[in-house]
Homo-oligomer: A and B are copies of this chain.
Amino acid sequence: MARVVVSVMPKPEILDPQGKAVLGALPRLGFSGVSEVRQGKRFELEVAGEVTPAVLAEVEKMAETLLSNPVIENYVVSVEA
């Protein structure tokens, strides 16, 4: 059993209202020093057996077709130790 993580973030040129809302709330809560916040999604997938290149390629395809919208989002696939 291995865990593969897919991180999905809005592309830099895409407006991120959720991130902006968090950024606006921080000073009201007394926090300072943060200049930008982006909010995205994190998927943790449990896959049976070892994480082979074939498994990673399959997860890449899942990320592209189901987990992200490639028009407005970037994704990164990584294996968790």
Contact = CB atoms under 8 A, between A and B. Distances in A.
Number of copies: 2
Nearest to A43: B39
What band does the interface of chain A fall in when counting residues whose beta carbon is under 8 Å from B? 20 to 34
Contacts of A62: 26, 29, 31, 34
A65 to B, nearest CB: 7
A47 B25 contact: no
Contacts of A40: 41-44
A46 interface: yes
15 contacts: A9-B44, A22-B66, A29-B62, A29-B66, A31-B66, A34-B62, A35-B48, A36-B44, A36-B46, A37-B44, A38-B43, A40-B42, A40-B43, A40-B44, A41-B41
